[in-house]
Amino acid sequence: MLNPMFNGAAAMAWLACSLFFLRFWKQSRDRLFGFFALTFALLGGNAVAGALLEVGDERRYYIYVVRLFAFLLILYAIWDKNRAVRRGGG
Amino acid sequence: MAEAVYILCALTSLACAVLLLRAWKRTQSRLLLWSGLCFAGLALNNVLLFVDLVLLPTAVDLYVPRLITGLASAVVLLYGLIWDAS
């Protein structure tokens, strides 16, 4: 009873974060914000999948593959941003 | 294979946290601080995941602490976005 509620709350919070970053991206057109929005949307979907799949379900493992991809996306976004700053862009 | 993914999740989220907090120290942008803290929470969440599913026997279940650290990370970032960034 409590666990799906925690998962649902986390999903809602991640999606809200994603929408904030989407707004920043629309305002500034800074790709960093776009990547952040995408990552937090992925984490939101992750929390939903975590709530829907049974604990013993073998597909549960793929949740963490998606999560790994989301983290790699952030690392790429930071690298991309640093490169742009070094080039004098921004 | 699953173990490798759990370890990589922990390492990448830790790397995100370190890079974001370093950028915050350099630029003093509060949004970077909240993002860095969020990823530090996620790193803790992923370490707990590894400890729970790989190191500890199945009799010990850390699912609720994992849920709470994940939710706390999201709430920290949301707090920062609502109070600091807009």
Structure ipTM? 0.90
pTM reported for the whole predicted model: 0.90
Q: Token digits for A39?
A: 């990552």
Residue of A1, A68, A80 to mutate, testing the B interface (most B Cβ within 10 Å of its Cβ): A68
Q: Where are the alpha helices (DSSP H) in B28-62?
A: 30-50
Q: Residue B63's CB: how many other CB atoms inside 10 A?
A: 15
pLDDT in tens, chain A (90 residues): 788 899 999 999 999 999 999 999 999 999 999 999 999 999 999 999 988 988 777 788 899 999 999 999 999 999 998 888 887 755
Find the closest chain A residue to B10 by CA distance: A68
Q: Residue B84's CB: how many other CB atoms inside 10 A?
A: 12
Spans of all domains in chain A = 2-87
Residue B64 makes CB contacts below 8 A (sequence gap 6+) with A2, A3, A6
Task: Tell me how long chain A is.
Answer: 90
CA dihedral in degrees (B26, B27, B33, B35; nearest 10)?
A: -100
Q: Token digits for B66?
A: 């994992």
Rounded to an integer, what distance in angstroms lies between the CA atom of residue B52 and that of residue B54? 6
Contact B2 A64 (CB under 8 A): yes
Contact A10 B71 (CB under 8 A): yes
What single-letter amino acid sits at B20? L
Contact A13 B85 (CB under 8 A): no
